[in-house]
């Protein structure tokens, strides 16, 4: 990015940041529960607690597919962060005899066949966005982004999760 673009972006962020913070604070004032997981939040919502649920697209689609009585509208924002879930193999838990099978499984997860299976189950493909079109339930996200947009987790966690959400949005007066 050139210097002019960076200055323009900086001014835009400074202009909308106070309004965005006020919106988040207004939403937070209406929060009645903060379950430990997305699945628990969905179950709580399905049991009639609350009038809105902010969750993963996957959980919203599962709720819609598994509960025909769910009278809920799924709203997908134009810009949203893509949820990225890594595979972790813990070497001390993998014996030499199992290593080849585990490595093959991990490699398989990024194959087109596995990615198609994920898309069919309402997860988004991570190797080829075009595969997502095979599931008509997945919404079109106009401006998807990852945590890299914020400089990675090392920067995003202290600045956004702690500095904004915990210290400014969740703070009760």
Q: Is residue 107 part of a domain?
A: no
Question: Range of 18's domain?
Answer: 1-30
Q: Is residue 124 part of a domain?
A: no
pLDDT of residue 15: 63
pTM: 0.75
| Same structural domain, 70 and 42 | yes
Q: Is residue 131 part of a domain?
A: no
Q: Is residue 117 part of a domain?
A: no
- Asked if 63 and 46 count as a contact pair (C-beta separation under 8 A), the reply is yes
Q: Is residue 165 part of a domain?
A: no
Q: Is residue 19 part of a domain?
A: yes
Upper half-sphere CA count for residue 59 (Cβ side, 13 Å): 15
| Same structural domain, 21 and 46 | no
Q: 24: which residues sit within 8 A by CB, 6+ positions away?
A: 164, 165, 169
Number of domains comprising the chain: 2
Q: Is residue 85 part of a domain?
A: no
Segment 82-125, tens digit of pLDDT: 888 889 999 999 999 999 999 999 999 999 999 999 999 999 99
Q: Is residue 5 part of a domain?
A: yes
Q: Tell me the average pLDDT across 39-51.
A: 88
């Amino acid at each position: 990015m050139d210097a002019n673009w960076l200055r323009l972006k900086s001014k835009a962020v400074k202009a909308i940041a106070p309004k965005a913070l006020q919106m988040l604070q207004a939403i937070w004032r209406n929060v009645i529960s903060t379950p430990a997981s997305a699945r628990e939040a969905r179950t709580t919502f399905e049991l009639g607690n609350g009038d809105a649920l902010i969750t993963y697209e996957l959980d919203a689609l599962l709720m819609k597919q598994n509960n025909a009585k769910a009278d809920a509208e799924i709203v997908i924002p134009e810009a949203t962060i893509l949820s990225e879930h890594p595979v972790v193999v813990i070497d001390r838990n993998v014996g030499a005899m199992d290593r080849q099978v585990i490595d093959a499984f991990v490699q398989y997860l990024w194959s087109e066949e596995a990615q198609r299976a994920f898309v069919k189950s309402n997860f988004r493909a991570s190797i080829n966005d075009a595969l997502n079109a095979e599931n008509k339930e997945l919404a079109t996200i106009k401006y998807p982004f990852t945590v890299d947009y914020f400089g990675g987790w090392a920067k995003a966690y202290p600045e956004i999760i702690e500095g904004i959400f915990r210290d400014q949005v969740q703070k009760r007066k």
